[in-house]
Chain A
Amino acid sequence: MAGHSRAHVHHDAEITHVEFSAKAMQEIQTYISHYPEGKQKSAILPILHIAQTEYGWMSVAVMDKVAEILNIQPIEVYEVASFYTMFHMEKVGKYVIEVCRTGPCMICGAEEILAYLEQKTGSKLNQISADGRFTIKEVECLAACGGAPCAQVKLKTMNGAYKYYENLTPAVIDELIATEWV
């Protein structure tokens, strides 16, 4: 199952009151308008992406707020957020670097890249680095196999979009982790 291997440990005490920004609320309303009346639940994935851009991860309070906006039960949000791998069910570092581990990237050196990343950031897989800047994760195929090995990083400066890094080498990694985007 897409979400089955992740521990569902919450640091919920840290987030109690959730209030999305005015810009986020406007985007959310636009997304809801894309679906027929009464089918507002369709907007859940786009809204979860917005929520994650604002709060960084899926705390219970954030998911409850999404349920409130969509007028659905909280469990309907929990089961969706935990199914899709892009939503972080635990707190993460400022930058999440997700390295592809599937066949085409593996045969082109993904394991060496991952080891190098861990060494350079001093962070173990799925853990936040001591300086709070990084969480390194393994992901499955990113549809960038022509540039294997590859990874993605989410950037607020690109309106929450993910930047793909392809043809990864230690030099590219050095540059990547030295950059301050926000």
Chain B
Amino acid sequence: MGRKLLTEHINVEGIQSFEVYRKMGGYQAVEKALKTMSPDAVTEEVKKSGLRGRGGAGFPAGMKWGFLAKPEGVPRYLVCNADESEPGTFKDRYLMQHIPHALIEGMIVSSFALGAKSSYIYVRGEMLYVIQILEKAIEEAKNAGFLGKNILGTGYDLELYVHAGGGAYICGEETALLESLEGKRGNPRNKPPFPAVKGLYGCPTVVNNVETISAVTWIVNNGGEEYAKIGIGKSTGTKLISACGHLKRPGVYEIELGVSVEEFIYGDDYCRGIRDGHKLKAVIAGGSSVPILPANLILKTVNGENRLMSYESLADGGFATGTMLGSGGFIAMDETTCIVKNTLTLARFYHHESCGQCSPCREGTGWMARVLERIEHGKGNMHDIDLLVDVAKKIEGRTICPLGDAAAWPVAAAIRHFRHEFEWHILNPTEATQKGAVYQGELVMA
């Protein structure tokens, strides 16, 4: 079992409270940063750590911070993206619910590094009970002098607010989140300008995921170089993986990046394998947007190397034979899973969640969902398969925000790896529409 940087104390009784969190060494990073470091020095440590954005894109966090414009007399903002909505992903909720002060501490240190005086945590509205937990934690931190005016007598002021979303996947896209935080519909903005230059209320803004911000605490305490020693290659540190589907032990696991996929699925420290009497068929490794892979390709790369839980190894082979680490939403499916139906629920999801601004996404997601619906209900024809691929191609790369790509990839990948299953559905409508019917034939890559 690897090291735990975020969740080491998550099972300590009462860790939700300031008192216990503090007793376990909490808020030392705030003391160290505010009293002994300059804001730039904190940013430097984050750069050295190699920490990458944990929301899904994996962009280096320190570099993102480095882009922040700092014009005189203009406020700067740090906004935490806690709008966790990517199907298969439930790690941020776990962290915020069980150890809320980890995020609060990370927010204080990160806000200090960026020079923000007001920071916001945008939590998806469905998690109102998590919002109540965070608000209580903020109040406790404030009463202890870690928030508000003149924190620890250092002259640094910070107010931290929790903001409830209203139920919209698209608000996980950072510019849609900012629009939503300004009280508008969650329509993503055209970029450039990027939020680092023109973000919340037109001011320079950094938007980071819950897990990213929480990791900054450990980095400040132990140094960026120490963090970079954990993990493998450019996948430094630990990552929360939320595992779900047909696993013996679904849940949230903090792993050192570089654990093998096989160990993660079957290992005693992790998911302990597929539920009894069943075998692994496919995995969506990083949240519903990333390409699905059949069992053989998720366990080993096309060159026969063991696939690892890291940004690079999961991406090995490109989209032809690889996938992405994404948000860490790990969905395992056994042989009872109908790939057509699963793809339909995902296509319907993206159609439902498209904001409607860009025609390729607004119309294309609906087309894909309708064509998949027809195949699922035994009314498809063989041209439909290529039609889906064609629509997916015409969405990909043609929208303001990545939701278009996120909608196109799952459909394209399902057909790439499970084309026979789609064909079987179309050629055997009576059989395929029976309750619980699943293609049993061999999987042959297209």
Contact = CB atoms under 8 A, between A and B. Distances in A.
Q: Does B associate with A? A: yes
Interface of A: 1-2, 4-5, 34, 36, 39, 41-46, 48-49, 70, 76, 79-80, 83-87, 101-104, 106-108, 139-148, 152, 158-164
B163 A45 contact: yes
Interface stretch (B4-12, B80-88, B299-307): B80-88
Nearest to B410: A103
A70 B170 CA distance: 25
Closest 10 CB pairs of A and B: A84-B166, A41-B183, A86-B167, A145-B244, A1-B356, A85-B167, A161-B128, A44-B183, A141-B87, A161-B129
Nearest to B203: A36
Contacts of A70: 183
A111 B314 CA distance: 32
Contacts of A101: 345, 348
A51 to B, nearest CB: 12
B98 to A, nearest CB: 13
Q: Give the residue among B87, B245, B354 with the most A Cβ atoms within 10 A.
A: B87
Given A84-B125, A152-B126, A145 B88 contact: yes
Nearest to A104: B244
A158 to B, nearest CB: 7
A4 B93 contact: no
Contacts of A162: 126-129
B161 interface: yes
B163 A36 contact: no
Contact of B244 (A140, A148, A159, A164): A148
Contacts of B354: 1
B126 A143 contact: yes
A103 B345 contact: yes
Interface string B334-371: 00110001100110110011111000001000000000
Interface of B: 75, 84-90, 92-93, 118, 120, 124-129, 131-132, 161, 163-170, 180-186, 201, 242-246, 250-252, 284, 288, 329, 331, 333, 336-337, 341-342, 345-346, 348-349, 352-356, 362
Contacts of A144: 90, 93
Contacts of B120: 34
A49 B123 CA distance: 13
27 contacts: A1-B354, A1-B362, A2-B167, A34-B120, A34-B161, A39-B182, A42-B182, A42-B183, A44-B183, A45-B165, A49-B128, A84-B125, A84-B167, A85-B168, A87-B167, A102-B87, A102-B345, A104-B88, A107-B337, A140-B85, A140-B87, A141-B87, A141-B88, A143-B90, A145-B329, A158-B128, A160-B128
B85 A145 contact: no
Nearest to B355: A1
Binding site secondary structure of chain B: mixed
Contacts of A152: 126
B355 A143 contact: no
A150 B16 CA distance: 24
Contacts of B169: 140-141
B129 A83 contact: no
Nearest to A80: B185
Nearest to B250: A146
A102 B166 contact: no
Contacts of B288: 102-103, 141
A48 B166 contact: yes
B356 to A, nearest CB: 4
A106 B167 contact: no
Given A107-B342, A145-B244, A161-B132, A83 B185 contact: yes
Contacts of A84: 125, 165-168, 186
A2 B170 contact: yes
B201 A2 contact: no
B128 A107 contact: no
A20 to B, nearest CB: 17
B245 A45 contact: no
Contacts of A4: 356
Nearest to A141: B87
A48 B346 CA distance: 29
A146 B243 contact: yes
Contact of B166 (A45, A104, A107, A108): A45
A104 B331 contact: yes
Contacts of B245: 104, 107-108, 145, 148
B352 A103 contact: no
Nearest to B165: A45
Contacts of A161: 128-129, 131-132
A162 B354 CA distance: 24
B116 to A, nearest CB: 13
Nearest to B338: A107
B84 A143 contact: yes
A163 to B, nearest CB: 7
B88 A103 contact: yes
A143 B127 contact: yes
A46 B90 contact: no
A41 B182 contact: yes
A49 B90 contact: no
A18 B245 CA distance: 45
Most buried by A among B165, B167, B355: B167
A5 B93 CA distance: 28
Given A84-B167, A101-B345, A107 B201 contact: no
A16 B226 CA distance: 63
A80 B88 CA distance: 27
A141 B170 contact: no
Given A83-B355, A86-B167, 4 more contacts: A2-B355, A104-B331, A139-B167, A161-B132
A140 B90 contact: no
B125 A163 contact: no
